[in-house]
Amino acid sequence: MKETTLAPLPYADDALAPAISAKTVSFHYGKHHAGYVKTLNGLVAGTKYEGLSLEEIVAASREAGDAAIFNNAAQIWNHDFYWNSLAPAGKGGEPSSELKAAVDAAFGSLDACKGALADAAVKRFGSGWAWLVAKDGKLAVESTSNAETPCGKPGVKPLLVIDVWEHAYYLDWQNARAAYAKAVVEKHLDWSAASRRFAAD
Ligand code: MN
C-alpha cells in the first residue's frame, strides 16, 4: 500500500532562526505537518483515494467535496511547499533574470513584491497562506483560507508561500504576525526555488 509520506525538511531545525526558531520548526514540522500526514493516511485507507499521489488526492477530494480528506491533503501539500519556499538567511539566492522581469512588470521592484506578499500575510483574516503565484506568466500575490491551495488550479503556478496559521509564528512572535512576515520576506524566501518553478512547464 502506497502511503503519503512526510517529506524531509530541506534544512536543520535551527536553520531559519531567529525568525523561525528550532522550537517552532520542531512543533510545526514534527507535530502539525506530521499530524496531517498521519491523519490523511488513516482517512484514505480502504477508500478510492488509497494509492493516489498527494496531488491526485487534493484534486479528487476537492471535486468530491470530501472536506476532511481535502483539508489534510492540501495542508500536507502546502507545508511541503512552505518548507521549500524558505531558506536559511543568505542562502535564498536572487530571482533569475526572467523572474525579476516578471516581478518588475507586476510590482515595480523586488522590494515592492516582498511588501505585497507581507501585506497579504498580514491581511489574511484567521488561518491561511500568502502566495506569490504566476498566472499565465504574470505574477500576483494572493492569499488562501485555512487549507485552501492553488495546487491543481488550472493556469496557476505557485512560486512561494508564507504560512500564516498562528502555529507558524506564535512561539517566536506571539501576535506580531506582521513582524514574522517581514522577517520572512526580508531574509528567508528561496528566490532560487521560485525561479526554477517560474521556468518550469
Ligand atoms: Mn502550518
CATH of the domain at 45: 1.10.287.990
**The pLDDT value given to residue 2:** 82
Distance 127 CA to ligand 1 centre (A): 9
Residue 152 lies in a domain: yes
Look at residue 1 and tell me whether its pLDDT is greater than 70: no
Distance 101 CA to ligand 1 centre (A): 31
Could you give the CA distance from residue 70 to residue 66 in angstroms, rounded to a whole number? Answer: 6
Q: Do residues 123 and 166 both lie within one domain?
A: yes
**The pLDDT value given to residue 171:** 97
Structural domains of the chain, count: 2
Q: Do residues 116 and 182 both lie within one domain?
A: yes
Distance 158 CA to ligand 1 centre (A): 17
Distance 13 CA to ligand 1 centre (A): 15
- The domain of 45 spans 22-83
Q: What is the pTM of this model?
A: 0.97
Q: Which residues of 113-131 are buried (b: 16+ CB within 10 A; e: fewer)?
A: bbbbbbbbbbebeeebbbb
Q: Do residues 79 and 134 both lie within one domain?
A: no
Mind listing the pLDDT tens digit for each residue in 34-84?
A: 999 999 999 999 999 999 999 999 999 999 999 999 999 999 999 999 999
Distance 78 CA to ligand 1 centre (A): 8
Mind listing the pLDDT tens digit for each residue in 167-178?
A: 999 999 999 999
Could you give the CA distance from residue 138 to residue 37 in angstroms, rounded to a whole number? Answer: 33
Q: Do residues 181 and 143 both lie within one domain?
A: yes
Q: Do residues 39 and 69 both lie within one domain?
A: yes
